[in-house]
Amino acid sequence: MLTKRIIPCIDVDLNEDGEPAVYTGVNFEDLQYTGDPVEMAKLYNEAGADEFVFLDITASAEGRETMLDTVSRVADEVFIPLTVGGGIRTREDIKETLRAGADKVSINTAALQNPDLVNEGARAFGSQCIVISVDARRRYDEAGEYYAEVDGESCWFECTVKGGREGTDIDVVEWASEAESRGAGELFVNSIDADGTKDGYDVPLTKAVCDEVSTPVIASSGCGGPEDMYEVFTEAGADAGLAASIFHFDEYSIQDVKEYLDDRDVPVRF
């Protein structure tokens, strides 16, 4: 088993004064102020995170640019791989985000609307820089391509856009496979149903994607503790586990999670 990565994530929005701030919510809603993005990035860098994710959570929905000044200040504080997402629509956006200090860009809405952006980004900057993010939600109808059994019911997983605000009728597993074939270097799988609940990752969703692709998969949404990381690694096959709330509110440290996993023979970096 390859070494598993533990990745804290900050969801950044503009506060009422127009200043970047970190927010935490449930099911992509009910956002509450959590802290300053630059200070939080510095703390996670020092805490032993393997990577760090910065998501501008309203840039796509509001049609504005990513907060590159803030990205640059965050990049100055972290010496681990930095992934930045939100509002990235064009090859030039990818270039400017990488120039601001990101090591990778996470693209969701724009890639679904223009899949050629994946090819263009991979060719221009290398597959290792292109992370395709999906905000998935369960659907219990017959419109999907790939189905999973969840609590005795059959469902499929739909890609959504604009921060989960709009559906697309596109099957997550089908899109993940296409994104891989177009050159995506990593897949970032978020579950709207599990987001912020701390009830555990959506293992059926993550496993469905991991079973279909060979590209590394980051599991996101729903982590309530180290046992959830263990489950998504061992039962779904995720390559990395992303968490926010448990780290933001000091319920667990990154070291706590790594020690728990190491005690159960899941390889991690110390």
Known catalytic residue at 11: yes
Nearest of 29, 27, 33, 28 to residue 15 by alpha carbon: 33
The per-residue DSSP string of 116-149 comes to HHHHHHHHHH-GGGEEEEEEEEEE-SS--SS-EE
Which entry of 11, 50, 93, 171 is annotated as an active-site residue? Answer: 11
Known catalytic residue at 228: no
4 dihedral zone (left: phi>0; alpha: psi -120 to 50; beta): beta
Q: Please give the Cα distance from 55 to 32 (Å, whole number).
A: 15
Q: Please give the Cα distance from 96 to 124 (Å, whole number).
A: 13
Neighbour-count burial for 151-188, b at 16+ CB within 10 Å, e otherwise: eeeebbbbbbbebbeeebebbbbbbbbbbbebbbbbbb
Answer whether 171's CB lies under 8 Å from 134's CB: no
Q: Please give the Cα distance from 178 to 113 (Å, whole number).
A: 13
Q: Please give the Cα distance from 197 to 79 (Å, whole number).
A: 30
Amino acid at 190: N
In the block, tokens 């609590």 appear at 151
Which entry of 50, 56, 135, 195 is annotated as an active-site residue? Answer: 135
Q: Please give the Cα distance from 194 to 27 (Å, whole number).
A: 7
* Terminal CA-CA length for the chain: 16
- Rg of the chain over all Cα atoms, to the nearest angstrom: 17
Give the residue numbers annotated as catalytic, written as ranges: 11, 135
